[in-house]
Structure 1
Amino acid sequence: MPPTRRTATVEFVRHSARRSRRRALATLPSLFTLANMLCGFTAILVSIRGEYTFAAILVGCSVVFDITDGAVARLVGAVTPFGLQFDSLADLVSFGMAPALLAFTLFSQGHDAFDPLGWLACALWVACAAIRLARFNTTIDPTADKRYFIGMPSPGAAGVVLASVFAFGDQMQGRDRLWVLLIVAVPALLMVSRIRFRSFRSLVSPKSGRPYGLIAAAILLIIGFVFIPVVTGVVLAYGYLLAPLILPVLSPLARLVPDRVKEVLT
């Protein structure tokens, strides 16, 4: 039967509704990316005011939003070039500028005097974070192992600074504490290194077939952050920092785990 004006109108409305729904789904990941960037920007402002713990919490929220936007984008099928570029710009604010300024204000105790070592270390962090993000965006290798990042990811590097602030933030203040610069310089150099770091994107993917390992890890992390948050944060951040050294040593112990347990957790 030839389409009538009524059926044509109904089809037009349905098509418009589907198009609006797709547009809303495509926008959803960018909202999490925007929240990531705004948390990083606010962390910069409160760092200048000397509220170091609050700034560290805000950068931690940026890490959560950064993980969430990728998972949401894969869930709704909205992985776009715009989203990738927007995510990198947000990461440069939240994991490049914010941790560097947080570390610098702690080191200089809020003074504006010239601190060449502090300036150099924090400038190194920003430069390495920018190089790391640019290299990640421009390096496309279909044959690369998706389970690993080349160089330490910027959220993981920022986690080292956050854990350090929570664990011994009071002892980090003062120009005589040069060891504070190592907390900045070492993760910064690892970001642009060729060392492989494990990627957990497959674990947080909503399409992973066996989420048992993720569920077990999430429960342990929640328990740890509720009862011993500082210890949990330090173990998590520094454990990831040292993972390329620790995993080759511990890998022989994996043979002791029964195959059935490995199958459930993987």
Structure 2
Amino acid sequence: MQKHIPNFITLLNVFCGCVATVFAVMNKLEMAAIFVALGIFFDFFDGLAARVLDVKSELGLQLDSLADMITSGLVPGIVMFQLLAMSQSGGWNLDGVSFLENNEFTWISLLPFFGFLITMASAYRLANFNLDENQVSSFIGLPTPANALMILSLPLILFYNGSDTVNEVILNPWFLVLLTILSAYLLNCSLSLFALKFNNWSFKDNAMRYIFLVVSLVMIITMQFLAIPFIILFYILSSFIQEKF
């Protein structure tokens, strides 16, 4: 019976991804972010449960990637679509009317569909990850959950940390296009990034992990949702430093 526990937790990730997808399509981006975060929570604990119960399986590996494809691949693409659509309409409204609620698509340019490059890049990364047996204690390229948090933080920043300057930057179509390209690149680049998996609690063996967690906590307390993109940047830089030194 216990062998099914990690897979059930993974299916909760699938459920959260489905709910987040619905909210993202409805342009309820705050709710979409909440369910993506909840899905990522389950994504972390399904692997932990599998290790604790010693019930790792090939089915669990494949199911995990399929769940991530929804929660951390499809939803960020839809959110970027919505943000690009907002940038074309000249304003932002997290509770605005979804583009699907309007039968006329003429007011939307083709640019918003560029956001699905994130979904495509996520699919490629997840497929490649399943074939790579070396990504155990570290990752090659940015993990899809981290990338999803980076993208989903944008509407939260608009809602909670926004200022005229910040809003103008986030809803600048050039910024969103460049961020989409950067996101797709980071997902599939050859950069080695450490995994937040502790084989023991020794500070010597996990110094960078402890430093990252403490700095991230301080940034969240002081900067709120605005901290998330900087945490991702710090994650990349600290991984680079650890790799070199």
Matched, 1:157 2:150: no
Question: How far off is 1:87 after superposition?
Answer: 0.5
Q: Which residue of 2 aligns with 1:200?
A: 196
Counterpart residue identity of residue 240, structure 1: Y
Counterpart residue identity of residue 132, structure 1: R
- CA 1:248–1:209 in structure 2 vs 1: closer, same or farther (change >3 Å)? closer
Question: How far off is 1:161 after superposition?
Answer: 0.7
The C-alpha deviation readout for 1:3-25, integer Å capped at 9, x for no partner, is: xxxxxxxxxxxxxxxxxxxx2x1
Aligned residue pair count: 218
The C-alpha deviation readout for 1:192-220, integer Å capped at 9, x for no partner, is: 1222122222x2xxxx3326667887677
Question: How far off is 1:228 after superposition?
Answer: 4.5
- 2: CA distance, partners of 1:75 / 1:248: 27
Counterpart residue identity of residue 121, structure 2: C
Counterpart residue identity of residue 142, structure 2: M
- CA 1:237–1:167 in structure 2 vs 1: closer, same or farther (change >3 Å)? farther
- 2: CA distance, partners of 1:236 / 1:124: 23
- 2: CA distance, partners of 1:130 / 1:28: 25
Q: Which residue of 2 aligns with 1:236?
A: 231
Question: How far off is 1:232 after superposition?
Answer: 3.8
Q: Which residue of 2 aligns with 1:209?
A: 200
- 1: CA distance, partners of 2:187 / 2:54: 28
Question: How far off is 1:233 after superposition?
Answer: 2.6
- CA 1:173–1:47 in structure 2 vs 1: closer, same or farther (change >3 Å)? farther
Which deviates further from its counterpart, 190-199 or 169-178? 169-178
- CA 1:118–1:94 in structure 2 vs 1: closer, same or farther (change >3 Å)? same
* TM-score, structure 1 normalization: 0.70
Q: Which residue of 1 aligns with 2:41?
A: 64
- 2: CA distance, partners of 1:172 / 1:85: 40
- 2: CA distance, partners of 1:165 / 1:239: 21
Counterpart residue identity of residue 198, structure 1: F
The C-alpha deviation readout for 1:142-172, integer Å capped at 9, x for no partner, is: xx7x432112111111121122332236627
Q: Which residue of 1 aligns with 2:73?
A: 96
Q: Which residue of 1 aligns with 2:94?
A: none
- 1: CA distance, partners of 2:213 / 2:242: 24
Counterpart residue identity of residue 131, structure 1: Y
Which deviates further from its counterpart, 76-85 or 173-182? 173-182
Q: Which residue of 2 aligns with 1:117?
A: 111
* TM-score, structure 2 normalization: 0.76
- CA 1:186–1:219 in structure 2 vs 1: closer, same or farther (change >3 Å)? closer
Bigger CA radius of gyration? 1
Q: Which residue of 2 aligns with 1:189?
A: 185
Contact 2:81 2:116 in 1 (8 A): no
- 1: CA distance, partners of 2:44 / 2:82: 27
- CA 1:236–1:48 in structure 2 vs 1: closer, same or farther (change >3 Å)? same
Question: How far off is 1:70 after superposition?
Answer: 0.6
- CA 1:78–1:94 in structure 2 vs 1: closer, same or farther (change >3 Å)? same
Counterpart residue identity of residue 156, structure 1: A
Q: CA RMSD in A?
A: 3.0
- CA 1:118–1:243 in structure 2 vs 1: closer, same or farther (change >3 Å)? farther
- Structure 1 unpaired stretches of 5+: 1-22, 253-266
- 1: CA distance, partners of 2:56 / 2:111: 40
Q: Which residue of 1 aligns with 2:17?
A: 40
DSSP 3-state at the match of 2:193: strand
Question: How far off is 1:101 after superposition?
Answer: 0.3
Matched, 1:148 2:122: no
Counterpart residue identity of residue 85, structure 1: Q
